[in-house]
Amino acid sequence: MPHASGSLDGKAPDLSPRESGFWRDRPTLVTGSTGFLGSWLTAELVRRGANVVCLIRDWIPQSELLRTKTLDRVSIVRGDIRDREAVERLLGEYEIDTVFHLAAQAIVSVANRNPLETFETNIAGTWRVLEACRRSPNVKQVIFASSDKAYGDQPNLPYHEKMSLAGVNPYDVSKSCADLLASSYAATYGVPLATTRCANLFGGGDLNFNRIVPGTIRSILRGNAPVIRSDGKFVRDYLYVEDAVEGYLTLAEQLAARRSLSGEAFNFSNELRLSVGDLVAQILRIMDSPLEPVIQNKAVAEVREAYVASRKAHAVLGWKPSLSLDDALRRTVSWYRSFLATSGDVV
């Protein structure tokens, strides 16, 4: 692929990587592949012809990766991101070219209850993956999954990429620290790395029913009132998982073409701000349900308003969400309706 010059303020070049077979036979590592986003990303990489290696710590039978038999089409290495030597061996033996580092403890409530395990996985795990990448000459691009939570509680919104990282609560701090580590490895050692900071992801395959979208859909399908842990007025923005996957792949493709993107971070969001109460109301409307949500007002250690601007991703990468929130929610409802009926969870 030819090198494309251009500044971060310019338009993304017309590289057409999918038409040119960018991913075909490309040795690609995905950490966190059995997770929600990881399952979708791995499946799309396989579809595009990449030689995917999945580093897997826990065997999760309910994962979309297993359910769709995508794991039958990848190489599996059992291990932990905190084992730097194992990661380094994997990178060398499989001659990994591209790394997607997604593995993390991603549940805010778990982080509040068990901060040390979250810090070990999200911070120590990240520096060990980064160090392994630094020591592996075959690695040509690394995409690190940070989060909009890394920004913390900012006085001015929306979040943009030049804001300082200021997490306060355990999960947010873990993402702020890991994000800074990624920037350090890019700046100090020249690791070709770019960072994603996504809004709240949703879509089929998310089996953490404590999250608002899958939890609400399952409750309605069971005929139960959906539960809102907060007062319903917390404001967030959301991003459909397939649009997030496209953002990750586009960023990796562009980083391969433009090394000037190394060390840069990109927000990905649909930029549509909604209160949790309004999101639940929209799901109820889509599912034609008369149920009323139960407001528990128990949320603690969470930022009340958090949403990002994605102008940089639009201008530099040429990325935009492909689905409206309404269409994405309808697709998500359809997935859970089929999945839960097949599993016998609902009639």
How far apart CA 167 and CA 153 sit, in angstroms, is 7
Q: Which residues contact 179 (CB under 8 A, 6 or more apart)?
A: 144, 146, 150, 165, 195, 197, 265
Q: For helices 212-222 and 325-342, what crossing angle results, to 10°? A: 50
DSSP 317: I
2 preceded by a cis bond (ω within 30 of 0)? no
Beta bridge partners of 294: 227
How far apart CA 274 and CA 266 sit, in angstroms, is 21
Note whether 258 and 189 are within 8 A (CB): no
- Rounded to the nearest angstrom, the gap between the alpha carbon of residue 41 and the centroid of all alpha carbons in its chain is 9
Q: Per the structure block, which two tokens stand in for 123? A: 């911070």
Instruction: Please tell me the total number of residues recorded for the chain in this structure.
Output: 347
Q: Which residues contact 134 (CB under 8 A, 6 or more apart)?
A: 185, 189, 191
DSSP 345: S
Catalytic residues: 171
Q: Identify which of 77, 38, 75, 49 has the alpha carbon closest to the alpha carbon of residue 248.
A: 38
Q: For helices 170-189 and 125-134, what crossing angle results, to 10°? A: 10
Collapsed DSSP state (helix, strand, coil) of residue 227: strand
